[in-house]
């Protein structure tokens, strides 16, 4: 073997090794950013992306929607079926939600059985349509929930807020709070539905006015 051939083989080997190492690092970084149980983003990563999406929407003057999803009476599910099946349930719910989202959308575990979703370029009407699709995707899985007072199957409640950053007196955290308020309005009205809390427009002569609309199944 010539010196040149030997050098080529060594260079090729090093290049392949470096490529494999980079792939391993990317997978490791992804695993650190994802919730291993639900296979969606961890809260910290999701919030980082949400803040970036807010800045982008503000710069482009486009709408951004925030959706909060909560599994109805999940504590009862754990009590009746155990935490192992509860974990399986969480994974199936997350998978159902992901199946309805676009590549540009962001989904993460906000805490416990609550999930946060961000939809770029999505107004109120479209966000509510997506919220309904998300809810139906979960219920259509027909995961038995014998302890539920809502349905024989696992269901979710969904809260929505959509706005064009800069046109409303709110920031990304306030949008999350509005979506959360809409979610809990749904839960207090019987669960298994979707609700929307509309932010008030910026007006120097008036206070911010909000209202919550709720649609139950």
Mean pLDDT value across residues 164-181: 87
Residues 30 and 123 in one domain: no
Residues 7 and 108 in one domain: no
Domain count, the chain: 2
Residue 168: CB partners within 8 Å, gap ≥ 6? 199, 200, 201, 202, 208
Task: For residue 187, give the CATH number of its domain.
Answer: 3.30.70.270
Which of 34, 113, 114, 194 is catalytic? The answer is: 113
Q: What is the pLDDT of residues 138-166, one digit of tens each?
A: 999 999 998 899 999 999 999 999 999 88
| DSSP class of 143 | -
Residues 96 and 11 in one domain: no
The boundaries of the domain holding residue 197 are 38-216
113 is catalytic: yes
Q: Does residue 117 contact residue 176 with C-beta atoms inside 8 Å?
A: no
Residues 105 and 61 in one domain: yes
Mean pLDDT value across residues 46-70: 94
CA distances, 149 to each of 7, 87, 145, 190, 192 (Å): 71, 21, 9, 9, 11
116 vs 110: CA distance, rounded Å: 6
194 vs 199: CA distance, rounded Å: 17
């Amino acid at each position: 073997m010539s010196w040149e051939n030997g050098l080529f083989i060594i260079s090729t080997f090093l290049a392949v090794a470096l490529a494999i190492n980079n792939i391993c690092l990317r997978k490791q970084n992804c695993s650190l950013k994802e919730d291993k149980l639900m296979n969606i983003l961890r809260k910290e990563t999701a919030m980082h992306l949400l803040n970036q999406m807010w800045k982008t929407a503000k710069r482009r003057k486009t709408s951004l929607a925030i959706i909060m999803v909560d599994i109805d009476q999940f504590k009862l599910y754990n009590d009746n079926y155990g935490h192992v099946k509860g974990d399986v349930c969480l994974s199936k719910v997350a998978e159902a939600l992901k199946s309805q989202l676009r590549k540009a959308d962001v989904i993460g575990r906000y805490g416990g059985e609550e999930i946060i979703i961000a939809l770029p370029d999505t107004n109120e009407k479209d966000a509510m349509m997506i919220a309904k699709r998300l809810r139906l995707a979960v219920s259509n899985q027909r995961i038995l929930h014998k302890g539920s007072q809502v349905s024989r199957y696992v269901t979710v409640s969904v809260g929505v807020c959509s706005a064009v950053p800069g046109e409303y007196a709110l920031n990304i955290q306030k949008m999350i709070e509005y979506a959360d308020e809409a979610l809990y309005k749904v839960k207090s009205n019987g669960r298994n539905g979707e609700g929307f809390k509309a932010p008030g427009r910026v007006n120097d002569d008036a206070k911010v006015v909000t209202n919550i609309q709720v649609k139950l199944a």
